[in-house]
Chain A
Amino acid sequence: MLLTDFVVSDAILPDLDADTKDAAIRGMVESLSGAGRIPAADSEGIITSILKREELGSTGIGNGVAVPHTKHPAVDQLTATVALSNRGVDFASLDGEAVHILFLLISPPDLPGDHLRGLESISRHLRNPNFCNFLRQAQSCEEVVELLQEADNNQLG
């Protein structure tokens, strides 16, 4: 599965203005709502659901990366956005480090396979140090989209 298949370009936040996990998740969900990819009426429910998932264990999986996610009937296909934080977000990550790269993923409840393939795609690319380093240096939506395309095309080494 390609990143550009499910990351909503118009909802990318290259300079996330948030210090806390709650604010980061809220900002990303509202960005997806603003881009028209989730109904505004479902935003609060989705935020609550993602925060509830975080209570089971942080999705800050180390190396400055977090993948907050949920399954929710408001979407009928895998829907994601990317946010970058220069100063870092306290995500209670497994390694205790602040998070600088966030992929927020919302999956339809009846498509668990797509959810796994989305996570697979995100994690496979995040294992590539070039992808993470370039992503952290990106300054605009366009630069992030370009990197996602390069990652999809395996152009990042």
Chain B
Amino acid sequence: MNQTAQQTVRVDLEQGLHMVPCSLIARTAERFPCEIHIQKEDRSADAKTMLDLLTLSAENGSMLVLQASGEEARAAVDALARLFESNFSDTDPGSNC
């Protein structure tokens, strides 16, 4: 069943949304069949594409809108929101990355 879902999340990472969390977002997003975009102000990135995600340049404290449309949209947004809520805790290696 087609759905749409949206949720606003905050980047709570000292180093911002650098390549490691972007990679985890892309890997998580790819598990879902729906289209997923992440919006920061006037920029929108395909959540399944690393190059797109890196163009968000989302620093610590940035607010992002997760938007999904299509099959499993709600589950996709929930899964991505959980990454932000846990501050990517299992994967963020800290300062030199």
Contact = CB atoms under 8 A, between A and B. Distances in A.
Interface of A: 49, 52-53, 56-57, 59, 61-63, 65, 67, 69-72, 94, 109, 112-113, 115-117, 119-120, 122-124, 126-127
B83 to A, nearest CB: 15
Given A71-B95, A113-B59, A115-B15, A62 B20 contact: no
Interface residues on B, range: 20 to 34
The 4 lowest CB-CB distance pairs between A and B, nearest first, are: A120-B57, A123-B54, A61-B50, A123-B51
B7 interface: no
A43 B60 CA distance: 30
Contacts of A62: 50-51
Contacts of A113: 16, 59
A119 B54 contact: yes
A53 B51 contact: no
A23 to B, nearest CB: 22
